[in-house]
C-alpha cells in the first residue's frame, strides 16, 4: 500500500511539473524580441514586444540530470532535480517577477537509502526597458537568498516528496545576493543585435555595492540574429517566418558558451502561430576558440504555440555529458 501511494505521489508530481509553465524558455539569444519571454534574456527586449496582451505569467520549470549507470539504484528517478515556480506581471515597459526554486545536490547512495541536500531559493526581479526608434536599453534589478536541508536520508519517493516540499529549511550562509544588469538591442531591417551584462552593480562580500569591470566583462553576452518579419513590405502576413541566431555568453571569461538557434514559425493569423525550435550549444576556452569542450555540448528541441491570449510551449533539452549522464529539461508556458 505504501509503495503504491509513493508511486501515485511521484506520478502526480511529474504530471504537475510537465503541465505547469516556465519562467524562461529557450531560445534565450539576447538579440531576440517580439515575444514576452524574450524579456527574461534581455530587459531591453521589453521595449520591442509585439504582443502587449500578456501582462500576467505564472510558470514552472522541471529539470533533472540523469545517470544511466545508477538507474537500478533506489530513487533513480531523482538525481539532481531542479524546479522553479515563477510569477510575473507588468506592462509595455516594465515587468516584475518573483521566483521560488527547489533543487537537490550532493546525492549519495547509503545502506539505508539515498542522501540529498535540499536547497530552496527565493528571488525577485524587476525589468525596465526604453526604446528610441530601432534602439532600446534595459535595466534589470534582482536579488534573493537560499536555504538548505543538508544530508537528509530518504528511503522512498513519498519520503522524498515530504522532505522536498513540506519540511523546514535553514538559511544558507553567503547565499544572499543583489545585482543590477544592463542590456541593449538594435534592430535594422531583418538583422538584430543584442548585448547584456548581468553584473553592472553587485553586492560584495562586505555587503557593500560595488562596480567591477572584470565582473561586467565576464558576464557580457552578445547575440546576433536574422529573421523574416511578420508582415511583407506589401502589408501581407508572412506564413513562413524563419529565424536563426548566434550567441556568445560570458565572452571575456576563461570559459564562454557558444550557442546557435534555428526557428521556424508558421503564422496562421496575426495572433495565432506555431513555432518549431532547434538549439545547439557548447563551451569553449578563450585560449582556443575553435576547440569544443566535448563534455559540454547540448542540443534542444521545442514546439511553441500562440493562440490568441493562450500561449504555451513544450521543450526538451539534452546535454551529452561524460560518464553516461544526461540533462533532461521539460518545459511548458502559459501567458495571460
pLDDT tens digits, 115-159:
999 999 999 999 999 999 999 999 999 999 999 998 889 988 888
The vertex-250 CA angle with 246 and 254, nearest 5°, equals 120
Task: Give the pLDDT confidence of 7-32 residue by residue, as tens digits.
Answer: 444 333 333 333 333 344 466 899 99
Q: How far is 164 from 102, CA to CA, in rounded Å?
A: 7
d(CA 309, CA 194) in angstroms, rounded, equals 27
Dist CA 67 CA 79 (whole Å)? 8
Separation of alpha carbons 27 and 298, rounded Å? 13
The pLDDT confidence band at residue 261, using thresholds 50, 70 and 90, is very high
CA atoms within 13 A on the CB side of 230: 15
Mean of the per-residue pLDDT values of the chain: 80
CB atoms within 10 A of CB 169: 15
First to last CA, the chain: 41
- Burial-class residue 125 by CB neighbours within 10 Å (0-12, 13-18, 19+): buried
**Residue for grid cell 521560488:** 100
C-alpha cell at 230: 511578420
Q: How far apart are CA 136 and CA 50, in angstroms?
A: 14
Q: How far apart are CA 53 and CA 205, in angstroms?
A: 41
184 vs 335 pLDDT, higher one: 184
User: What single DSSP character describes residue 238?
Assistant: P
Place of cell 557558444: 258
Q: Give the three cell numbers for residue 123.
A: 528571488
What pLDDT is stored for residue 126 in this prediction? 94
Classify 157 as helix, strand or coil.
helix
Model pTM score: 0.79
Q: In whole angstroms, give the CA distance from residue 75 to residue 154.
A: 9
Question: Cα–Cα distance between 312 and 333 in angstroms, integer?
Answer: 4
CA distance 166 to 274: 38
Cell, residue 224? 546576433
Amino acid at each position: 500500500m505504501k509503495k503504491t501511494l509513493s508511486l501515485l505521489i511521484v506520478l502526480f508530481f511529474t504530471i504537475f511539473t510537465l503541465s505547469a509553465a516556465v519562467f524562461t524558455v529557450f531560445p534565450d539569444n539576447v538579440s531576440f524580441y517580439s515575444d514576452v519571454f524574450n524579456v527574461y534574456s534581455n530587459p531591453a527586449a521589453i521595449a520591442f514586444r509585439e504582443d502587449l496582451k500578456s501582462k500576467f505569467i505564472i510558470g514552472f520549470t522541471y529539470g533533472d540530470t540523469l545517470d544511466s549507470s545508477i538507474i537500478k539504484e533506489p530513487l533513480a528517478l531523482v538525481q539532481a532535480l531542479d524546479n522553479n515556480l515563477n510569477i510575473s506581471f507588468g506592462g509595455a515597459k516594465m515587468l516584475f517577477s518573483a521566483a521560488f526554486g527547489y533543487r537537490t545536490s550532493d546525492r549519495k547512495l547509503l545502506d539505508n537509502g539515498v542522501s540529498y541536500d535540499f536547497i530552496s531559493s527565493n528571488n525577485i526581479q524587476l525589468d525596465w526597458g526604453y526604446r528610441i526608434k530601432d534602439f532600446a536599453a534595459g535595466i534589470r534589478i534582482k536579488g534573493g537568498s537560499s536555504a538548505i536541508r543538508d544530508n537528509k536520508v530518504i528511503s522512498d519517493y513519498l519520503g522524498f516528496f515530504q522532505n522536498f516540499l513540506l519540511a523546514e529549511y535553514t538559511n544558507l550562509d553567503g547565499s544572499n545576493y543583489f545585482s543590477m544588469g544592463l542590456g541593449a538591442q538594435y534592430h535594422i531591417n531583418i538583422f538584430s543585435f543584442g548585448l547584456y551584462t548581468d553584473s553592472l552593480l553587485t553586492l560584495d562580500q562586505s555587503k557593500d555595492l560595488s562596480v567591477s569591470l572584470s565582473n561586467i566583462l565576464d558576464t557580457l553576452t552578445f547575440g546576433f540574429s536574422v529573421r523574416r518579419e511578420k508582415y511583407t513590405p506589401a502589408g501581407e502576413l508572412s506564413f513562413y517566418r524563419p529565424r536563426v541566431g548566434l550567441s556568445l555568453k560570458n565572452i571575456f571569461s576563461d570559459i564562454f558558451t557558444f550557442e546557435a538557434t534555428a526557428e521556424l514559425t508558421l503564422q496562421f493569423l496575426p495572433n495565432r502561430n506555431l513555432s518549431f525550435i532547434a538549439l545547439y550549444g557548447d563551451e569553449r576556452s578563450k585560449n582556443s576558440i575553435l576547440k569544443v569542450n566535448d563534455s559540454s555540448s547540448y542540443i534542444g528541441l521545442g514546439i511553441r504555440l500562440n493562440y490568441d491570449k493562450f500561449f504555451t510551449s513544450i521543450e526538451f533539452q539534452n546535454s551529452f555529458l561524460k560518464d553516461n549522464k544526461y540533462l533532461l529539461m521539460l518545459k511548458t508556458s502559459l501567458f495571460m
